[in-house]
Structure 1
Amino acid sequence: MDHKKYATLLAVVHETLAGRIDNARTLLADLVDDHLDDGAHGEDLQYYIFASALSKRLESDKAAEINLYLRQFEKTQISLFNLLAQHLPTVSLAGPLANEVLAGYMGGQEHATLLDVGIGSGRQEVALMHLLATQGRLPRKLDVVAIEPDAGSLLEAGAALAETADELGVELAFHPVHKVVEELDEEDWRMFASFGAPLFVLGAFAVHHVRSAPGEQARDALFRRLRALEPDAVVLCEPSSNHDSSSLVERFEAAWHHFGLTFRIIDGLDVDDRDKAAMKMFFAREIEDILANAEETRCERHEPVDAWVRRFRDAGFTPVAEWDAVSRPAAGPVRVAARNGYLGLDYGDETLVAILCATSGVPARAGRISSALLDQVA
């Protein structure tokens, strides 16, 4: 890390918070004009991405110039995700590993209900059904209750799951809920409860979007609501970092550290420099949300993994403590570390992404895991 460049960005943050906006803009302009390499395919691209986020917060004249520079690395968001899913271990391992854990509980049920918090386009759920079918443990009947704020994604998920169910011979009932979690009302929760056992909950990179109103703790309330449903298992995928803080300085430092480690992994991948830069650009939108958007509109509110484990316990869940049935493949510099309450996708000694699992019973251990994950990452 270039400590001078980092110090300049941090000074921009402090000047912004002090209300010295002109000083902040001047510091940012000086950094971009005199200290960043225009051929930034390596470390300097991280400075550009963070400078871009801060320039938008400051409404700086440099915003357009930085954006013009970064556009050379842009691809469609889906193509960027495909690059990450193919090459970046913290992405490529998370979904399959979460599905393996969930399949350990869902597999072998005659009739199961999956409550999906933030289903997106249904990519992970389709993979889950195929995994269960490969294991010979796919439920004959499956209710999928899909919470999703994006109407287009919800339609896409319903169609994808219906096609997969038809292919695999599953009796599927798809129940779309076009809302953000914070908008769920008593009628919704009564509907969720009406399905009864066995019930399973999946939240893949979605629960950190839940935003609390002043004086409320929406995530704690959500976990209590879920516990009242008495699900057999809840599985979450969440990045581990402190981006929910109301302090811009804390968010900046946490984001720099978390994404800096992610970028370091990317730099070590066996792909060309332009693909490395493109993968980093996937995270530019998240960094911009964390640093540039107003407190009341921010969406990327990641928390450290210990906060999620604590929330499970406080709501009356039992986090999984034993993962002896779970394979722990390594993928380059990223390893799967089994801990109390979660599996960490670790770089060095630090968890960047966590797969959390908790049950309504005691004791809690991971369900039966097949060898499919080993096949996927071999």
Structure 2
Amino acid sequence: MLTSLNSHEEEEDPDRHHHHHRNPARGLPSPANHVRQLLISCAELISQSDFAAARRIVSLLSASSSPYGDSTDRVVHQFTKALNIRINRHTFQNLISSSSSPTPSISTNPDTLQSAYLTLNQITPFIRFSHLTANQAILEAIEGHRHIHILDFNTMQGVQWPPLMQAIAEGSDPLNPPSIRITGTGHDLETLQRTGHRLQTFAQSLGLNFQFYPLHIDDGPSSTTVLHLLSSINVVPEEMLAVNCVLYLHKLLKDDERDVRLFLRTIKAMNPKVVTVAEREARHNHPIFLQRFMEALDYYTAGFDSLEATLPPNSQERLTVEQVWFGNEIANIVAAEGEERRERHERFESWVEMMRSSGFANVPLSPFALSQAKLLLRLHYPSEGYQLQLVNDSFFLGWQNKALFSVSSWY
């Protein structure tokens, strides 16, 4: 199923590795399967609460992995850091369970994260592919409508919207352009306001009637908070509503799946013409730690492999994405529990079931959307490794034969 890290997984004879060179600076054999197995052993020990033995393996892995080596080295380095945080948190909580001192942190400065997100958007096709495909579905749904309202969850810097605004401007009468209103949600009001200002300036340059409304939602919101805010959104009868959930729905899973269904039913009641959904194609929400760990190891191995194939080892952008963006996600999946665990990704079939049970039907993505996504890959990411698949009227983008992101459209 996977690429380099498990290509030797079936080799069980330890003597086979005697002829591999050792890095004199590290003193450990370098085969991918050896370090992968050590990582898994460490996770198994943690799941059995043998933290002393797990700590010994973490020390070994910390000494032998590097954020500057090949993709195996780098993925092992990030997972080792995450396991270390989990072990330290357990030890810390046991030592001062009665104290109110904070446990070792896994969060990153919001500005650093935002900067890493923009870098991720530049050097990998996943975010651009999600935005492009969702935009095409929205563009096709709004055809012929004069008043358009987009409810966008998790707006961040709003990088999705300039291409859509440009497409709307090009396809409309410059003397009588349609009006566009975006309600953008996020947990940082200042970022939202800056985003709104940038989009407003861009819309003016295109001659579009445009309004942006920032809607502040706490980071890691409860579904109740989100539902309360939804009730405050002004849906005007003559407006055509499009709802955009790119890398958002999984954030609501920390409460309960029923809350996600309630959220989706509330959206359905707002009668949108289209709802676009993009999610990572992985089950990082498994209640059993070891299962979650294995799923994440497979998923991020493919992600790190894709970066290795498309960027040089000394690329600063590559390091930023690996250490800040992916590193933060890995730490959250592996080391966090309860309220703090927000990266609760689910596979496509789970979202299909939740959407259908909330009253939505799948809208097939168009042949034009497919050729557009293929063109994006060919022009900007010419590596053979990126694979685009059309399954059940939805798109999946992955590395080699492992799907990593899905995009689908609903009404």
One fold, TM greater than 0.5? Answer: yes
* Alignment equivalent of 1:173, drawn from 211, 214, 224: 211
* Alignment equivalent of 1:207, drawn from 249, 261, 264: 249
Correspondence for 1:50: 79
Is 1:18 paired with 2:48? Answer: yes
Deviation at 1:174, TM superposition (A): 2.4
Deviation at 1:47, TM superposition (A): 0.5
SS in 2 for 1:123: coil
Cα pair distance change 1:171/1:264, threshold 3 Å: same
Residue type of the alignment partner of 1:252: F
Deviation at 1:44, TM superposition (A): 0.7
The CA distance in 2 between the partners of 1:210 and 1:19, in whole Å, is 29
Is 1:325 paired with 2:368? Answer: yes
The superposition leaves residues 301-331 of structure 1 with CA deviations (integer Å, 9 ceiling, x where unpaired) of: 1111121122221111111236333225144
Is 1:99 paired with 2:151? Answer: no
The CA distance in 2 between the partners of 1:358 and 1:227, in whole Å, is 10
Correspondence for 2:326: 283
Is 1:86 paired with 2:127? Answer: no
Deviation at 1:357, TM superposition (A): 0.5
Farther-moved stretch of structure 1 (184-193 vs 143-152): 184-193
> Aligned runs of 1:135-214 on 2, under 5 Å?
135-136=171-172, 140-180=178-218, 182=223, 183-186=225-228, 188-189=230-231, 191-194=233-236, 197-213=239-255
SS in 2 for 1:255: helix
Residue type of the alignment partner of 1:91: I
* Alignment equivalent of 1:344, drawn from 396, 400, 403: 396
Structure 2 unaligned residues grouped into runs of 5+: 6-31, 90-110
The superposition leaves residues 76-111 of structure 1 with CA deviations (integer Å, 9 ceiling, x where unpaired) of: 545544443333222342222322222222244211
Deviation at 1:190, TM superposition (A): 5.4
Provide the identity percentage: 21
Correspondence for 1:218: 259
CA contact (8 A) 1:126 1:160 kept: no
The superposition leaves residues 23-76 of structure 1 with CA deviations (integer Å, 9 ceiling, x where unpaired) of: 21112112223x43685243211111000011111118xxxxxxxxxxxxxx95
Residue type of the alignment partner of 1:119: T
Correspondence for 1:134: 170
Is 1:303 paired with 2:355? Answer: no
Residue type of the alignment partner of 1:232: K
The CA distance in 1 between the partners of 2:345 and 2:339, in whole Å, is 15
The CA distance in 2 between the partners of 1:272 and 1:8, in whole Å, is 24
Deviation at 1:257, TM superposition (A): 0.8
The CA distance in 2 between the partners of 1:41 and 1:141, in whole Å, is 50
The CA distance in 2 between the partners of 1:204 and 1:137, in whole Å, is 29
Deviation at 1:236, TM superposition (A): 1.7
Farther-moved stretch of structure 1 (329-338 vs 219-228): 329-338
> Aligned runs of 1:197-276 on 2, under 5 Å?
197-213=239-255, 217-275=258-316, 276=318
Q: TM-score, normalised by structure 1?
A: 0.82
Structure 1 unaligned residues grouped into runs of 5+: 61-74, 360-378
User: Aligned pairs, how many?
Assistant: 346
Farther-moved stretch of structure 1 (95-104 vs 231-240): 95-104
Cα pair distance change 1:273/1:42, threshold 3 Å: farther
Deviation at 1:173, TM superposition (A): 2.8
Residue type of the alignment partner of 1:128: L
Deviation at 1:9, TM superposition (A): 1.5
> Which of these two proteins has the greater Rg computed from alpha carbons?
2
Deviation at 1:339, TM superposition (A): 2.1
CA contact (8 A) 1:90 1:334 kept: no
Residue type of the alignment partner of 2:243: V
SS in 1 for 2:82: helix
CA contact (8 A) 1:322 1:340 kept: no
Farther-moved stretch of structure 1 (286-295 vs 17-26): 17-26
Correspondence for 2:146: 110
CA contact (8 A) 1:41 1:277 kept: no
The CA distance in 2 between the partners of 1:170 and 1:42, in whole Å, is 45
Correspondence for 1:5: 35
SS in 1 for 2:328: helix
The superposition leaves residues 327-360 of structure 1 with CA deviations (integer Å, 9 ceiling, x where unpaired) of: 251443223322224211133343211111012x
CA contact (8 A) 1:201 1:234 kept: yes
Correspondence for 2:25: none
Is 1:292 paired with 2:335? Answer: yes
Residue type of the alignment partner of 2:298: H
